[in-house]
A and B are shown apart, each in its own frame.
Chain A
Amino acid sequence: MSRPSYRAWFVWQRDGDVFLRLWRSEAAGFLGEPLFVLAAMGFGLGAYIGQVNGQSYLSFIAPGIIAAYAMFGASFECTYGSFIRMEVQRTFEAIIATPLEVEDVIAGEILWGATRALLSAMALLVVLAVFGLVASPWAVLVPVAAVFTGFAFASISMVFTAIVPGINTFNYYFTLFITPMSFFSGVFFPLSGLPKVVQWLAWALPLTHGVNVVRAALRGAATWGLLVDVVWLGVVGAVAFWLALVLMRRRLIK
């Protein structure tokens, strides 16, 4: 295995170029859908719920939605997106005929996945700010949380992409891992109401920590404790990143 180099940025740029060409058609995914969910849940369900932890339901779920869509953005990019580039378009094969190695390609793809998470979070943050849902300057932590959440999920997704036999297998990844995660990470309800065992399990989920940071940031309730969340996301991300490099080399270099 060779170490990823600065050349990973060329792959990041390539993916960025595609995004700049196509972002209008993708905006529905990274902006439209979360806003629909937010409006439906926040206003529809919020009318029956009243307050959660001293906030309106809309204010409570807004940060959760930001973190969850950072996760979705990075995950889609590094599963379906990367798989199509790898197997259908043979883009990876074309790139590794140049001075880039597999590790550069995968690192670039993961960085781009994290960037997608960041873009999605920033777009939502701007919309929320317009509607007066961003109360504190601590909101500057939102991009940090988005990048770390994005990095963790882009890496985890890439591990999966390295081992799937075909594109349909991603259905399992999303229905058994990503979607459940969005329900047990404090996006839609506080974890404190769950049984202790489930709370412990939920704590291990990376998304829980992304949600924690974004929520604290939007409320202006930042504490040093948030560092633990960020470090945990970093550790999960780093382990998955390394594993993704190893498994991708094994898959692509025969």
Chain B
Amino acid sequence: MASIVEARGLLKKFGPLVAVAGIDFAVEAGTCFGFLGPNGAGKTSTMRMVCCQSPLTAGQLYVSGLDVRTQGRAIKALLGVVPQENNLDPDFTVLHNLVVYARYFEMPPDTARRRAYEVLDLFHLREKAHSPVRDLSGGMKRRLVLARGLLHEPRILVLDEPTTGLDPQGRHMVWQKLRQLREQGTTVLLSTQNMEEAARLCDWLVIMHQGRILAQGSPADLVREHVGSQVVEVPADAAPAIVGQLSRGDATWEEVEDTVYVFARDREALHRTIGLVPGATYRPATLEDVFLHLTGRGLTE
């Protein structure tokens, strides 16, 4: 399959600060591609370059075969953009926000109204159509920004932390809509800090940290490769004995503050190395373990 977004040596600097450190990635058409990373990792900077809103410092970036450096208008016509920060027009009602936005895509007025009601229905906002935007709750505003991004039926969606500010119901609803869109052939590019979102939604994930890509793959492969299938959290009092045993064995482990995390390929390997430790928590490995393992457990900013 051909890549619909392709970056080579993508570099973004703000003065001396390197926000994106020359990364390569390729997004296959019709898939959901996720950027996962802590604060300041460079997710937004990367996505803004894809959206032709921020010039590249160096490198190459193609969207649907078009060069972002020279064909911004054509690319932007293909993209549905949901920025990290809501930027709805507070001067208008919900419906008029969409109608005005449709004009920027040169949609005929009757198509615009029809599409506006369709996306309002999709995100359960129809009954708010005539409310001023400032009267909406935070979650409704976020859903309206998502609706606005879908208005012109874009082939590629670029979503910067789409579900922040949504309650669990809202989040699940949005995930379901996004999966549906992907089934219909839309390519989805998203950034997130939410492991569940990344694991449930993304076909391919890149884990970013300090402007670099540390690892990439499908969520399941990332877990398998980087932390195995089992994790044991050993509490402080049992830790010293375990650490002694571990340093002679071949399991991966990590000491964080007063807890020791032991990662293992499978249950048997684990039992051979440390046996059953009283007070320890045994659980399946998750994407969060990969994330913390790769990006470190301290605050990054």
Asked if B101 CB lies within 8 Å of chain A CBs, one says: yes
**Are the C-beta atoms of B72 and A101 separated by less than 8 Å?**
yes
The answer to whether A98 and B76 touch (CB under 8 A), given A91-B89, A253-B53, is yes
The answer to whether A14 and B100 touch (CB under 8 A), given A89-B89, A99-B73, A99-B105, is yes
**Are the C-beta atoms of B53 and A96 separated by less than 8 Å?**
yes
A246–chain B nearest beta-carbon distance, Å: 15
Residue of A nearest to B45 (CB): A254
Task: Specify which of B14, B103, B105 lies most central, judged by the most chain A CB atoms within 10 Å of its CB.
Answer: B103
80-107 of chain B: CB within 8 A of chain A:
81, 83, 85, 87-92, 96, 100-101, 103-106
Asked if B77 CB lies within 8 Å of chain A CBs, one says: yes
Report which of B90, B91, B96, B104 forms a contact with A99, defined as CB distance below 8 A.
B104
**Are the C-beta atoms of A97 and B53 separated by less than 8 Å?**
yes
7-48 of chain B: CB within 8 A of chain A:
14
Residue of A nearest to B105 (CB): A98
The interface residues of chain A lying within 8 Å CB-to-CB of B105 are 98-99
Residue of A nearest to B88 (CB): A94
Q: Bound complex: CA of A17 vs CA of B55, how far in Å?
A: 32
Q: How many residues of A contact B (CB 8 A)?
A: 23
**Are the C-beta atoms of A21 and B91 separated by less than 8 Å?**
yes
Binary contact track A88-107/B, C-beta < 8 Å → 1, others 0: 01110111111111000000
Residue of A nearest to B14 (CB): A254
Binary contact track A34-73/B, C-beta < 8 Å → 1, others 0: 0000000000000000000000000000000000000000
The interface residues of chain B lying within 8 Å CB-to-CB of A7 are 104
The answer to whether A99 and B87 touch (CB under 8 A), given A10-B103, A17-B100, is no
The 8 lowest CB-CB distance pairs between A and B, nearest first, are A90-B87, A98-B104, A97-B81, A94-B87, A18-B91, A99-B73, A10-B103, A99-B77
List 6 interface pairs A-B (beta carbons < 8 Å), by A numbering.
A2-B72, A14-B89, A98-B77, A99-B77, A253-B53, A253-B54
Beyond A91-B87, A101-B72, A254-B14, 9 additional pairs, beta carbon < 8 A:
A14-B103, A17-B100, A21-B92, A89-B89, A89-B91, A94-B87, A97-B51, A97-B53, A98-B105
